[in-house]
Amino acid sequence: MIIQRLRDTFKMDIKSTRFNWYIDPKHWKPFHHDSSYINAERAKNQNFTVAVSFGATKDAAFEHAKTKTVISMPQRDGTVYSFTNDTNAIWRHGILQDKTPQNVYIGRISIIAWGWIDNIKQIS
């Protein structure tokens, strides 16, 4: 149902998905580029990334690949964020480690989809 909603909302041809389960505040995701940046073949059919979060708030962060400047955004329950391959090339992204005490942590699930959206204006 969630994948179908993302597909319909973004008019996206979804090629791949991932289910992330952050069971405690120690779980996080280091800064990285999605594989469409690294793999030219994958970039031919993946120009868009979308993520939706459920549960505990965690910060999604973007680190500029050259300057190392970091910006972050809280991903509250039900929050969606997305970006194109241009963003994926300029910024690495990840989920910051949480400082919430473990006895009050409710866990977090994120669902990620990668795919193709027609008519995205690319910078390059």
Compute the chain's Rg from CA coordinates: 15
Q: What is the CATH number of domain 2-116?
A: 2.60.120.590
For 109, other C-beta atoms within 10 Å of its C-beta total 16
Q: Where are the domains positioned within the chain?
A: 2-116
- Whether the CB-CB separation of 103 and 24 falls below 8 Å is answered with no
Mean pLDDT across the stretch 73-97? 96
Tens of pLDDT, residues 57-73: 899 999 999 999 999 99
Tens of pLDDT, residues 14-59: 999 999 998 888 889 999 999 999 999 999 999 999 999 999 889 9
- Whether the CB-CB separation of 12 and 48 falls below 8 Å is answered with yes
Q: pLDDT value at position 62? A: 98
